[in-house]
Amino acid sequence: MAASRKKATARRTAGRKRAARRAPVTPLTRVTGIGGIFFKSDNPKDLMDWYRKHLGIETDSSGGWTFTWREKRKSSRIGCTVFSPFERATEYFEPSEEPYMFNFRVADLDGLLKALRRAGVHVIDKVEEHSYGKFGWIIDPEGRKIELWEPPDADDPFGEAS
C-alpha cells in the first residue's frame, strides 16, 4: 500500500513539473490597459499648444498629457494613460521604424516577458525600473516596438492626480 502511495505522489509531482514547464500566460500577466500612446512630431511643443488651444488638453510635467481614471478592481487607485509627442529624431522607438509606439499596462512585467520569450516573441533584453514603474519592450511581428509598463503599487504612479 505504501508503494502505491509513493507512485501516486511521484505521478502528481511529475505532472506538476510538466505543467509548470508549459504554464500558460495567466490573466495576471497579460495586458491590463493602455498605458500610453507615443508618436513622433516635427514640433512637439507647437503640437501640444495646438491640442491645448483647440481641445483643452493641458500638458503635464512629463511633457505630454496624462489622463487619469479610477481602476475598476480597486477604485481607490488612480490609473493613467499618457498621450505624448516625441521629437521626430528620437531613437526611443528603435529598432522600430514606425513613427509611433504603444505602451500597455501590465500586472506582472517579469512574468509576461518570461512567457513571451517562451512563446518565441522578440523580447528586447532590457528592463528599466523607475519610481513610476517597471518597463520592458517587445517587437510585434510587423516590427513595431511595444512598451510594457508595470505601474508601481501606488494609488497614483505619477503623484499628479487631482
Q: Is position 33 within any domain? A: yes
Query: Containing domain of residue 124, as a range?
Result: 28-150
Please tell me the distance from the alpha carbon of residue 92 to that of residue 101, in angstroms, as a whole number: 9
- The CATH number of the domain holding residue 143 is 3.10.180.10
User: How many structural domains compose the chain?
Assistant: 1
Q: What pLDDT, in 10s, does the model give residues 23-63?
A: 455 555 688 889 999 999 999 999 999 999 999 988 887 77
What pTM value is reported for the model?
A: 0.75
Q: Is position 155 within any domain? A: no
SS3 per-residue string spanning 19-78:
HHHCCCCCHHHCEEEEEEEEEEECCHHHHHHHHHHHHCCCCCCCCCEEEEEECCCCCCCE
Q: Is position 7 within any domain? A: no
Q: What pLDDT, in 10s, does the model give residues 70-129?
A: 888 788 888 889 999 999 999 999 999 999 999 999 989 999 999 999 999 999 999 999
Q: What is the pLDDT of residue 97?
A: 94
In contact, 102 and 34? CB cutoff 8 Å: yes
**Neighbour tally for 158: CB within 10 Å:** 19
